[in-house]
Amino acid sequence: MTGPVQSPLYLAWGKVRHARYTVRKHAFEVSSFFIRVNLRRLKDIESNRWFSIGKGGVFSFDPANHGTGEASIADPCSWLESLLKSNGLELELGDIWLHTFPRMLGYVFNPVSFWFCHGHNGELLAIVCEVNNTFGEKHCYLLSNHGATLLNGQEHHASKEFHVSPFFEVMGQYRFRFHNTDERSVARVDLDGHDGHRLSTSICGTFSVPDTQLWKTTLFKYKWFTLGVMIRIHTQALRLWIKGVPFFSKPEPPTHLTTQSDIQST
């Protein structure tokens, strides 16, 4: 199994971890939450005052916050299907699950979202890692094995080609790993460079089918979370600057939207 399949929407509570190992060691861990939504079944999700598809609600999800910004509730996946085809993947897709932060009290910033692309028999065929930086730029890392089924826990490698942090050059190799079960999800991204292992990041969470009480509890527990994502990014940057970590100016973004994985191994 590659994740929950019964409900079109899941809410997960967990942790975000971040640790750097080069120049100056620095690590932090924060409580986090995210949603996993089946984009093929958006119409099955009932909107209410606590969670809505589109605008409104304390929490909400809008497909237009992802991809090219042209997606709609009626057609949330066409940009993704075009991205796969333009990169040589002619896949017969079934369910497409998106792991992301919801909009909360009208605000959201998603440093990374994961699109899990399944075949009609439930097999995982591709993962798209949609990365946003604080400059309003976007890049996608496409992980696949030329249409073959991806294994749970399989490692994928891709060259880093997009500026995220001013304390790392745009160089090195990412290693992506995903462990998904019916109850829990772990997404891990490591960065290696010429000087060895540079960075480890991960987000994990345990799935629940959300109801009114769970949304209320989530609001109370994480009331400053979405705004805090941006605050924490800049706070951690300040701490790195104080530690004397070298600063790299932002380069021009790549002219291509997508970088494909070049190595897969178990």
Task: Give percent of the chain above pLDDT 70.
Answer: 85
CATH 2.60.40 fits 9-208, yes or no: no
Q: Is the pTM of this model over 0.75?
A: yes
The least confident of 8-12, 188-192, 216-220, 249-253 is 249-253
What DSSP string runs through 19-62? EE-SSS-EEEEEEEEEEEEEGGGGGGSPP-SSEEESS-SSEEE-
Map tokens 């929490």 to a residue. 59
pLDDT in tens, 131-187: 998 888 999 999 999 999 999 999 999 999 998 876 568 889 999 999 999 899 999
Distance CA 119, CA 11 (A): 23
Task: Give 138 or 198, the one with higher predicted confidence.
Answer: 138
Whether the predicted pLDDT of 1 surpasses 50: no
Give the three-state DSSP class for 248. coil
Q: Shortest CA distance to 32 belongs to which of 171, 228, 222, 223?
A: 222
Distance CA 189, CA 201 (A): 5
- What pLDDT is stored for residue 243 in this prediction? 58
Percent helix, percent strand, percent coil in the chain, to nearest 5: 15, 40, 40
> Can you give the residue ranges of every domain in the chain?
9-208
